[in-house]
């Protein structure tokens, strides 16, 4: 059976930065913001609306 890989985007925000370019945002802050956004979207049932359609899809190679 063919299987496919689909790419989606998820927007999130990191609050409290003191840099106009966001250069002081840490990977930990980003991860925390992503986890919070996913939790929020799952709780309100809006995950599919938030990520929209896939933008890159390809057929996966069969596992050997």
Model confidence over 12-45: pLDDT tens digits?
A: 999 999 999 999 999 999 999 999 999 999 999 9
Question: Which pLDDT belongs to residue 3?
Answer: 96
Contact 63, 2 (CB under 8 A): no
Q: Residue 8: which of 37, 48, 51, 45 has the closest Cα?
A: 51
Question: Which pLDDT belongs to residue 62?
Answer: 87
- pTM (2 decimals)? 0.81
Question: Any idea of the CA torsion for 35, 20, 8, 60, to the nearest 10 degrees?
Answer: -100
Question: Which pLDDT belongs to residue 63?
Answer: 81
* Cα distance from N-terminal residue to C-terminal residue, the chain: 13
């Amino acid at each position: 059976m063919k299987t496919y890989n689909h790419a989606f985007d998820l927007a999130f925000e990191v609050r409290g930065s003191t840099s106009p370019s966001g250069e002081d945002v840490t990977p930990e802050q980003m991860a925390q913001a992503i986890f919070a956004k996913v939790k929020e979207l799952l709780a309100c049932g809006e995950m599919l609306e938030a990520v929209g359609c896939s933008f890159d899809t390809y057929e996966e190679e069969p596992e050997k």
